[in-house]
Amino acid sequence: MDHKTGVRRHFLEGKTIIVAGGGVAGSAFVVGLRKIWKPEWKPPTIHIYDRDTQEVTAQRESYTLSLAGYDVAGGLLALRKLGLLDQILDKAVAGLDGIGAFKIWGPDWKEHVSFRHKPVDGLPASSIRIPRKDLRQVLHDGLGPNDTMQWGAKCVSARRLEDGRIQVQVMRGSPGEETTTEEECDILIAADGASSKLRASLRPGDKLDFAGAVLRGGVSRFEDTLPKPLDQDWGFMLSGTGISCFFSPVDKNSIVWAVGNLEDTQVPGLDLRNTEQVQSVIDRGLELGSPLQEPFRTIVAHTDPKTVLSINARDKKPFAHEKLHKMPVVFIGDSNHAVSPFSGFGANLALADGWDLAEQLCKGGSLTEAIAAYDKLAVPRATKILKGSRARLKAGHSTGVQYWVFWLMLVVGKFMGWVLGRKVT
C-alpha cells in the first residue's frame, strides 16, 4: 500500500520480466498480464525472446491445432478471458456453426463415432481447428505496444545474482556463428517448449519420456477441393493393426496427415534439406498406412516435401515450483508439462497456463503466493491430460482383443453420452 495515495502497490511494478519463448504459452501470458494489469500500477517491462527466426517459425507452423470449448481447461475459454475469442473464431478452418467435428473412422472410412460435446459456459463451439500460425499471430497482435519481441534469440541458461535478480544467457546467430549476451530481469518465465534449454540447465534431471510411438506425415496440397470427409471433419482413423492416422483440414486446399505406430526406440531427427530423408519418411508412412483405404494414398501423394514431419511422441509430468525466493523462474506450457501430439490438447494447456499465471500474478500479494496458487490450478490439470493421453495412445494402436475392447468402450461412451444428454452422434 502506498501511504501517500492509498493505492495498493504491486510487487511487479516497474520490474523487468523476460519471457523465454514467443509461442502460445508465453504470448498468452503477456497478453493476459497486460489485460488484467491495473492502470494505477506502474507496468513491468517485458522482453520476449524466441529461438526461431520469423521465417523458420512460419515454415514450422503449417499445421492446425484443436482448441476445445467443451472443457473448462480448453483453449477457447482462455481466449475469451484474453479478449481474443472473436479474432480466433474468424481464423477457424472447421468446427463452427455445426460444420465439421472430431471423428473416429475405421480403415474403410466408415464413421464410428462423432464427438459433438456441449460447449461450456456459453462458448460458441465445442471444438475448432485453427492454423497454429494464425493462433500465434492473433496472440502477438494482442501484445502491448512496449513489449519487445526478439526473434532468433535463445535463452540457454540463467543464474541468480547477489541482488536477487536473474542473469539470463541469450544466444543469437546461426550454428557456428553464435554470439552470447547476458540480460538481467526480476522474473524469468520459461515458455521455451518441450525441449526447453532453461529446464535442461536449471532442472537437468527433469527430462522428456518417450511415450512409445512415432508420428510420420506432412501437409498435402490440392489444387481443387479437398477429398471428403476431410473438407470439414478431422480426427483419427484406426486400423486394428496397430496403426493410426490423424487427418485434419489446414485450409480450403490443404490437409495434414500423420501416421502413428508404436515403436520401441525413437527415430533420429529429420533434416528437411535432405531429400532422401524426406522421401524415406513419406515412403514409410505409405508402408505403415497400407491397410488404410483411399483417399489415403492420394493424400500422401500430394504431400509438400517442405512440411514432412517425423516426431517421437514424448511427454513429461508437470511439477510445482519450489524455492522461488532463491530462483524466481516459472515454467509454463510444454517447458513444464509436455504432452505428445496424440493428446490433442497441448495448445489448450498452453493457453490456460498463460491466462492463469497472469491472473494469479496480478491477484497475489507476492511471487511465492501467486505461483503457489497457479500451481494448484496448472499441475492437476496437466496431470489429468497426460494420463488420458497415454491411455488413448495405447488404446488407439491396439490390436486383437484389446482393439475390440477399445471399440466397445467407445460404443458404451457414445450410449452414455446420449443418456446424459450430451451430443455424441
pLDDT for the residue numbered 37:
97
pTM for the model: 0.91
Residue with cell 450410449: 415
State pLDDT tens for residues 189-220: 999 999 999 999 999 999 999 999 999 999 99
State pLDDT tens for residues 33-50: 999 999 999 999 999 999
Q: 222 pLDDT exceeds 50?
A: yes
C-beta of residue 275 within 8 angstroms of C-beta of residue 305: yes
- Mean pLDDT within 395-423: 59
- Alpha-carbon distance of 104 to 120, in angstroms, equals 23
Q: Which residues pair with 183 in a beta bridge?
A: 168
What is the pLDDT of the chain when averaged over all its residues?
A: 90
pLDDT for the residue numbered 418:
43
C-beta of residue 249 within 8 angstroms of C-beta of residue 93: yes
Q: 406 pLDDT exceeds 70?
A: no
pLDDT for the residue numbered 295:
96
Convert 332-352 to b/e letters by CB count within 10 Å (16 or more is b): bbbbbbbbbbbbbbbbbbbbb
Of 3-12, 72-81, 210-219, the range with the lowest mean pLDDT is: 3-12
Cβ neighbours of residue 183 closer than 8 Å, sequence gap 6 or more: 18, 47, 167, 168, 170
pLDDT for the residue numbered 424:
43
